[in-house]
Amino acid sequence: MAQDALVVSSAGAVTLEWHALRPSDGNFRVRTLGLCSSIALGMALGLPHRKIIALDGDGSLLMNLCSLPTIARMKPKNLIHIVFDNEVYEASGSKKTATGAGADLVGLARAAGIGNAHWANSLEEFEKVIRSAVSENELCFIGAKTSTDRVDVPPYPIDEVENKYRFIRHVEKTEGIEILKSNLPASYN
């Protein structure tokens, strides 16, 4: 199930690192800081039988905290919301975020109504919660504290519009549906 998950990744290094790990047309890169969780929610509501994974960051989620109560309200069973929390705006000069001053994103998720929200405190724990989240059919929020070390990964190879078309074509192909219909009538009128 994890192999064919659609993955939405936040603006920032997480997108490049994820692309290096799993290059796929089923990856969607978000450019608006904060919107990762909302775009993932829209996908989860639109394709309720498909696993949707959001790879979010602390700076991003802090900008769109209201997505948490909205996700809790809609309760999509197919959404896994992962937040990599390095406590800084790493892509923007590494200034400290509010999580670096004590804000607890898992606590916020729980308070917003997402009961199945957990911190993964080690790599082993992360693997465990991810495995269970992927196999279960339940909305899940996972927080993971990460270091600010950069790994050497290539730049994102395609622009936003190509990302959109490739992603939609990937969904069409894997779901057997038609999303982009030709708008031209048989005879122009």
Partner 1 sequence: MNPLAAAQTIVGGLKSAGINLVATLPDINLETLLHEVESDRDIVHVPLCREEEGIGICAGAYLVGKKCAAIMQNGGFFNSNNAIVSTLLQYQIPLLLLIYYAGDIGDRTFSTTGSLTEPVLQALGIRAYIMRDPDDAQELIRRAQILTEDSKRPVALLLTKEALGRRAQLKSL
Enter the tokens of residue 4: 């064919």
**Of how many residues is the chain composed?**
189
Q: CA 15, CA 8: separation in Å to the nearest integer?
A: 8
Q: Using the rule CB under 8 A, which residue among 3, 135, 147, 183 binds partner 1? A: 183
Please give the DSSP secondary-structure letter assigned to residue 1.
-
Sheet containing 6-9: order of strands:
27-29, 6-9, 52-57, 79-85, 140-145, 117-120
186 binds partner 1 (CB under 8 A): no
Q: Which of 2, 5, 17, 47 binds partner 1 (CB under 8 A)?
A: 47
Nearer to partner 1, 2 or 65 (CB): 65
CB of 102 to partner 1, least distance (A): 23
Closest by Cα among 139, 161, 163 to 68: 139
Smaller CB distance to partner 1: residue 136 or 160? 160
Judge whether 57 and 14 are in contact, CB under 8 Å: yes
**x/- map, 66-105, partner 1, by CB under 8 A:** xx-xx--xx-------------------------------
Q: Does 139 bind partner 1 (CB under 8 A)?
A: no
What's the rounded Cα separation, in Å, for the pair 104 and 62? 10
List contacts with partner 1 (CB under 8 A): 6, 8, 28, 30-32, 34-47, 50, 64, 66-67, 69-70, 73-74, 160-161, 163-164, 167-168, 171-172, 175, 177, 179, 183
